[in-house]
Amino acid sequence: MMWQLASGNQHAGSDVIFVNGMNSVGHAWCKGCHEASQNGVALSFDSPVCLCILGVYFGSKKAMSGPQCCEHPPSLNPNSGSGHVEQLGGLSCYIAGSPHSKLAILLVSDIYGYEAPNFRKLADKVAAAGFYVVAPDFLYGDPYVPDKAERPLPVWIKDHGMDKGFEDTKPVIEALKSKGVSAIGAAGFCWGAKVVVELAKSGYIQAAVLLHPSFVSLDDIKGVKVPTAVLGAEIDQMSPPALVKQFEEILTAKPGVDGFVKIFPGVAHGWTVRYNAEDAGAVKCAEEAHQDMLGWFSKYVK
């Protein structure tokens, strides 16, 4: 359950407090849920949301607009990209590349969805490398809108859980296999990285790339079964460099699973798809990450 309390000047720099009450769990459930009950495991999707809320609402006035995962919202354009939209696995999907390719890449967007121009531009770039690219609308036409004061991120995300996103990938993957696709890679951005790491843990895909991930835990990385790359930002509240380095330690020590971790200096969360196209430096950093992603897929999706 969630309560919204008007707090006035009760807390400096904060006007709203969100409290999330977790049912049927005890003290320290957030840290220990993976060793606790099945209910605790199910609620593990909520725990990072709570941390996100605390970061937003006890921060500065500037942070009141949302955490880093909300910064630099794109101007959505349903007509962007050189591909097209069609139904696949019960979802509207942006499709790019040859339908005759046996190698597919699933792109899972951030909270702004699949109509973001930079996101579709990247899909086209991946398609140009020879892959059949599918970017589903896992948000069902309801991307996050920062200007909706009545529906801040903690409220919006309750309707768009990463667990639901993971379940929604399954019919899409089955549809790809029915088309003759023999190998699938998946890349997730921010919100989408949590969906993709679940795919990597399940073995539904052949390779994974997590770009400026949100809500991805150490236990998630410990559980991956396929080659996994993590591309992080130096300036990232959602996955700070210290956490990303722990991801690297886990992947390095993991037998039988290749891993790659890179922290990009001087860039912030979201830089791979929410860069300013007029900023040459930002474009260069984004393109470097894109090439790393393509290199990973070329190596393992074949």
- What are the tens digits of pLDDT across the range 251-295? 999 999 999 999 999 999 999 999 988 889 889 999 999 999 999
| pLDDT digit string, tens, across residues 175-226 | 999 999 999 999 999 999 999 999 999 989 999 999 999 999 999 999 999 9
Give pLDDT, residue 115: 97
CATH architecture for residues 72-300? 3-Layer(aba) Sandwich (3.40)
Note the pLDDT of residue 158: 92
Report residue 71's pLDDT band, with 50, 70 and 90 as the boundaries: confident
pLDDT tens, 24-66? 444 444 433 333 333 333 333 344 444 444 333 333 333 333 4
Length of the chain, please? 302
pLDDT at 16 over 70: no
Which of 21-30, 63-72, 88-97 has the highest mean predicted lDDT (pLDDT)?
A: 88-97
**What would the pLDDT profile of 190-201 be if each residue is shown by its tens digit?**
999 999 999 999
- Per-residue pLDDT averaged across 97-125, rounded? 97
Would you list the domain boundaries of the chain?
1-65, 72-300
Residue 67: band (very low, low, confident or very high) from pLDDT cuts 50, 70, 90: low
Average pLDDT, the chain: 82
Give me the residue label for tokens 């791979």: 272
Q: Which pLDDT belongs to residue 68?
A: 63
